[in-house]
Amino acid sequence: MSGNSFGQAFRVTTFGESHGTAIGAVIDGCPPGLPVETAAIEAELARRATARSRFVSQRREPDRVEILSGVLDSVSTGTPIALLIRNADARSKDYARFRDVFRPGHADFSYQAKYGRRDWRGGGRASARETAARVAAGAIARTLLAAEGIAIRAWLAAVGELEFERGSDLEAGESNPYFCPQPERVQELEDYLQDIWKAGDSIGARVDVEATGVPAGLGEPVFDKLDAAIAQAMMSIPAVKAVAIGDGFEVVRQRGSEHRDAMGPAGFGSNHAGGTLGGISSGQPIRASVAFKPTSSIPQAVDSIDSAGNPATVKVTGRHDPCVGLRAPPIVEAMLALVLADQLLRDRAQNSKPLSRE
């Protein structure tokens, strides 16, 4: 199976299945001398974890990370960094009934069609469990970016009809388990989710992300434009159905006189573009929005087929997320960090002054 690696200079490969022994990531290209601490990686994993509220999957994974290589005395050596996260709370028997039946909205059917077999335990490789490996690798990318003054924050921007505004406090979403940037509206959000939950249904969501401190000049013409790399990164997250940069689909209603960001000696007057021009960062904050579909595993029966093509009925009960957006902000942040770390190193390879080796 190919397609498990992302990035060129800061290259991340993930491996593992939801109910296998472990998942993990190998990072090739991380510069030497970067602090790499288990605690910092686990802190990011804890933000993505299950069971942080009653409205997310109750699977309980400790998400301890083992650093197998590429780090000595808590500092990267420049050789591949291998990260391992063991699966501790897999209940494969819950999935035995889906061994020969396809769950609509999941990857069961398409994996079977492509490979002629599939790991039916907990969604196998297609499971969002894989995103823990991305978050672990992303934690290292974030350390690299922080050393350059680049910070990334994502927040829950919408759930169904509810829209949330981010104020000037960029950390407001960190005060609650939903990454809601308006903590005073958490009760409203919980009431809304409770109604969806009681109806045995799920709901879509939008997560917005911003990177600040990004220098002008990141992004490679023409197929590896910064916005193209961000779109690929976000689209590769399970359940993502749309990605927008800057004003996104709002541009359809805008005039050029409104959208183009005027410039002056003090900088840009606005940021409709979302921080990229011609696929290269402009020095403005990078802004993107990511839309997540409502999850398919809900306790309502739905028509399906078995692997022989016979009609079947599927009803999914057990430990599931009724709204992916509640857990997605750390994953979105990690993917943006992987893009920016990769583009930063690629830019340095081509554009830096002659290397000094002191």
Ligand X SMILES: Cc1cc2nc3c(=O)[nH]c(=O)nc-3n(C[C@H](O)[C@H](O)[C@H](O)COP(=O)(O)O)c2cc1C
Q: Quick one: which of 125, 153, 287, 327 contacts ligand X (CB under 6 A)?
A: 327
Give the nearest distance from C-beta 210 to ligand X in angstroms.
20
Give the nearest distance from C-beta 108 to ligand X in angstroms.
9
Q: Which residues of 96-108 are buried (b: 16+ CB within 10 A; e: fewer)?
A: eebeebbbebbbb
Q: Quick one: which of 41, 189, 211, 324 contacts ligand X (CB under 6 A)?
A: 324
- Based on the shown chain and the rule CB under 6 A, indicate whether residue 57 belongs to the binding site for ligand X: yes
Query: Is residue 110 helix, strand or coil?
Result: helix
Q: Quick one: which of 239, 243, 245, 334 contacts ligand X (CB under 6 A)?
A: 239
- Based on the shown chain and the rule CB under 6 A, indicate whether residue 230 belongs to the binding site for ligand X: no
Q: What is the total count of residues that contact ligand X (CB under 6 A)?
A: 21
- Based on the shown chain and the rule CB under 6 A, indicate whether residue 23 belongs to the binding site for ligand X: no
Which of residues 28 and 174 has its CB atom nearest to ligand X in the complex?
Answer: 174
Q: Residue 231 — left, alpha, or beta (φ > 0 → left; ψ -120 to 50 → alpha)?
A: alpha
Which of residues 98 and 192 has its CB atom nearest to ligand X in the complex?
Answer: 98
- For 30, residues 6+ apart whose C-beta sits below 8 A from its C-beta are 10, 36, 70, 76, 78, 81, 140, 144
- Based on the shown chain and the rule CB under 6 A, indicate whether residue 18 belongs to the binding site for ligand X: no
Q: Quick one: which of 22, 107, 277, 312 contacts ligand X (CB under 6 A)?
A: 107
- Based on the shown chain and the rule CB under 6 A, indicate whether residue 294 belongs to the binding site for ligand X: no
Considering only residues 115 through 134, tell me which ones interact with ligand X, judged by CB under 6 A: 123, 126-128, 131
Give the nearest distance from C-beta 57 to ligand X in angstroms.
5
- In the chain, the amino acid numbered 350 is Q
3-state secondary structure 170-234: CCHHHHCCCCCCCHHHHHHHHHHHHHHHHCCCCCCEEEEEEEECCCCCCCECCCECHHHHHHHHH
Query: Is residue 65 helix, strand or coil?
Result: strand
Q: Quick one: which of 211, 328, 334, 344 contacts ligand X (CB under 6 A)?
A: 328
Q: Quick one: which of 166, 272, 320, 348 contacts ligand X (CB under 6 A)?
A: 320
- Based on the shown chain and the rule CB under 6 A, indicate whether residue 333 belongs to the binding site for ligand X: no
Q: Quick one: which of 44, 247, 321, 333 contacts ligand X (CB under 6 A)?
A: 321
Give the nearest distance from C-beta 330 to ligand X in angstroms.
9
- Based on the shown chain and the rule CB under 6 A, indicate whether residue 106 belongs to the binding site for ligand X: yes
Whether 121 contacts 97, CB under 8 Å: no
Q: Residue 42 — left, alpha, or beta (φ > 0 → left; ψ -120 to 50 → alpha)?
A: alpha
Strands (DSSP E) found in the chain: 5-6, 11-16, 22-28, 65-69, 71-72, 75-76, 81-86, 151-159, 162-163, 205-212, 240-245, 263-264, 267-268, 276-277, 280-281, 286-292, 302-305, 311-314
- Compute CA distances 289 → 274, 307, 320, whole Å: 10, 37, 24
Stretch in the footprint of ligand X (CB under 6 A) among 38-46, 150-158, 225-233, 295-303? 295-303
Give the nearest distance from C-beta 131 to ligand X in angstroms.
6
Whether 59 contacts 153, CB under 8 Å: no
Task: Count Cα atoms within 13 angstroms, Cβ side, for 95.
Answer: 21
Give the nearest distance from C-beta 238 to ligand X in angstroms.
3
Which of residues 276 and 295 has its CB atom nearest to ligand X in the complex?
Answer: 295
Q: Quick one: which of 100, 296, 302, 312 contacts ligand X (CB under 6 A)?
A: 296
Residues that bind ligand X (CB under 6 A): 57, 106-107, 123, 126-128, 131, 237-239, 293, 295-297, 320-321, 324, 327-328, 331
